[in-house]
Amino acid sequence: MTIPSLLEEQARQAPDRVMIVYGDEKISYQAMHDRAGRVAGNLKAMGIQPGDKIAIMMDNCLEYLYCFLGFGRIGAVMVPINPALTPEEYAYVIRNSEARALVVRAEMLAQMGDVKSALPQLEHVFVAGAWPGGDTTPFEVLMKPVDLPPIVVDEQSDAALIYTSGTTGKPKGVILTHGNYIWDARAISKSNRLSGEDRFLCVLPLFHVNAQVVSVITPMMVFASIVLVGGAFNPFGILHLIEQYRITTMSAVPTIYGLLSRLPKAATADVSSIRFFVSGAAPMSEAIYEAVRRVFNKPLTMGYGLSEATCASAVADHEDPIRWNSSGPALRYTNIRIVDKSGKDLPVGEVGEILISGPTVMKGYYKNPEATAEVLRDGWLKTGDLGHFDQEGYLYIVDRVKDMIIRGGMNIYTAQVEQVIAAMPQVADVAVIGVEEPTWGQEVLAVVQLNPDQTLEEQEVVAYCKQHLAAFKCPRFVRFVDALPKTAIGKVRKHELIAKYGDIALKRRSRHS
């Protein structure tokens, strides 16, 4: 099964069932199939071939779904891009992916300037919303009536390139196949006994695999309805939507649940329709877990996964005893091992690196065989995460081998931030760490060593980063030192920096509370 064949089959079996609710519009499974098919047919008529990459840079909207669900029909590969990225960052993704086309909203294009001159490889720029003219094409052209093209992909065909960064800080394109998406959604749908009676609230951005898999493909598996939240994030609106549409489940990051539980109307909101909440993409604090349980009196389960294994690899069952700091057992069809540095399996309770195998593991990194070989070994994915199992098979994430920071569910790679700061002429050396922060989970702290006779202020570092990085990646705190602590071979002892500065955000919060 593939993404387009799943949509086609569900439309055949339940054509009039509501699939998407977006504002005042309700779209049936058949209507979604027809619209996604039009996008595919018109792209094919314009010369898009199997294997061609098409970048999408939009907030949540119907056009995003038409593309996500339609591209695969003709073998086109989706390249989702976070709209918050800087021109330097999104240009790299477009160039590295060799995208032939870009789909973008009009308001974002207005901020991008002459994108086709800057990125001449783009043969087509499709604009959703108010068409600005010029050498772009209105998205409506892709919605013209056209013969429905046959499905040309199978489970092994590439479906998407999901750009993520590793320890080098350079973004890498994770190649996910149609089979990856389908098997992950199939497993998730069985993990908590989802059905067509469920109504999902999609609050996470569609450029994120969590939204793509958990909030779109998974409900499609069981003929469920999806309420798509578009526009700027508004925590006040979420509780209203739960009441209005009788939402039964939603997937979000801990930061969102923390915000919801602190809303003035949280205690009186009608969330009786909710069967369970799901949290993922970032570690959950016990304080947020307890707040959600206390305020809403509904189960809150955790999941664990990474883009290299599509989305989720372990998900807790809301009907089982919930351990707030556990991601639950491995999903069906997924195998998880805990190993030591030599690759030897460790007994229950001992901490080691998490390895994953199964049909959700990526094909590899796009045009990067060296990086692929580092993490895919003998059929197993080396996650770079540390964890352990308990006697009941519950997985616990202890730490990350990689130096990734997760702020409000968004991944921030320290090496990328370090590279930007290191380019400043006043800087001799720099280390970036994550510090605990109660609202966002983590904040970014840069520890900077200056060159002799140089001076630099905290805000100068932050301002420089904002010129080269998305705002959410920029340091919240900057501290200056005479020398960074290092090992004998020159590696920064980040654990010493964390011990020294790890509570800096908590101290600042307590002073202002």
**What value does the mean pLDDT take over residues 34-41?**
98
pLDDT at 190 over 60: yes
Q: What is the mean pLDDT of residues 245-256?
A: 91
278 pLDDT exceeds 70? yes
- Residue 197: the pLDDT is 96
pLDDT above 80 for 404: no
Are 444 and 475 contacting, i.e. CB atoms less than 8 angstroms apart? yes
The DSSP call for residue 330 is B
Q: Is the pLDDT of residue 22 over 60?
A: yes
Q: What is the pLDDT of residues 129-146, one digit of tens each?
A: 998 888 899 999 999 999
How large is the average pLDDT for residues 154-183? 88
pLDDT of residue 160: 98
- 400: confidence class by pLDDT, cuts 50, 70, 90: low
Phi/psi for 227 (5° steps) reads -95, 110
| H-assigned helices in 46-144 | 62-70, 87-97, 106-112, 115-118
- Domains in the chain, start-ordered, CATH in brackets? 28-153 (3.40.50.980), 180-400 (3.40.50.12780), 404-512 (3.30.300.30)
Residues 194-219: tens digit of each pLDDT: 999 999 999 999 999 999 999 999 99
Whether residue 220 has pLDDT greater than 60:
yes
Neighbours of 495 (CB within 10 A): 11
Q: Which residue has the higher pLDDT, 86 or 16?
A: 16
- pLDDT score of 511 more than 50: yes
pLDDT in tens, 424-438: 999 988 999 999 888
Give the pLDDT band of residue 14 (cuts 50, 70, 90): very high
Mean pLDDT along residues 46-57: 98
> What is the pLDDT, as a whole number, of residue 512?
54
Chain segment 92-120, per-residue pLDDT in tens: 999 999 999 999 999 888 888 778 788 99
* Rounded average pLDDT over 438-442: 88
Average pLDDT in the chain:
91
Pairing of strands 352-357, 380-389: antiparallel
3-state secondary structure 387-420: EEECCCCCEEEEEECCCEEEECCEEEEHHHHHHH
Q: Residue 488's pLDDT is what?
A: 44
Of 430 and 509, which is predicted with more confidence?
430
Mean pLDDT (whole number) for 186-201: 94
Give the model's pLDDT for residue 490.
Answer: 54
Model confidence pLDDT, tens digit, residues 294-313: 999 999 999 999 999 999 99
C-alpha angle 218-220-222 in degrees, rounded to nearest 5: 85
User: Which range, 237-241, 244-248, 405-409, is most confident?
Assistant: 244-248
pLDDT of residue 96: 96
CA distance 462 to 475: 6
Residue 288 has a pLDDT of 80
**What is the rounded distance in angstroms from the CA atom of residue 356 to the CA atom of residue 75?**
27
The model's confidence at residue 168, banded by pLDDT at 50, 70 and 90, is very low
- Mean pLDDT, residues 32-59: 97
Query: What's the pLDDT at 94?
Result: 96
Q: What is the pLDDT of residue 250?
A: 96
440 pLDDT above the threshold of 80: yes
Give the pLDDT of residue 491. Answer: 62
- pLDDT for the residue 157: 98
Percent share of the chain, pLDDT over 70: 95
Any long-range contacts for 10-14 (C-beta under 8 Å, 24+ apart)?
Answer: 10/220, 10/223, 13/223, 14/196, 14/223
The residue among 361, 366, 302 whose CA lies nearest residue 336 is 361
**In the chain, pLDDT over 90 holds for what percent of residues?**
70
From first CA to last CA, the distance across the chain in angstroms is 54
Length of the chain in terms of residues written: 513
**Lowest-pLDDT range of 8-12, 41-45, 202-206, 323-327:** 323-327
Cβ(475)–Cβ(418) below 8 Å: no
Q: Who has greater pLDDT, 147 or 113?
A: 147
pLDDT of residue 169: 57
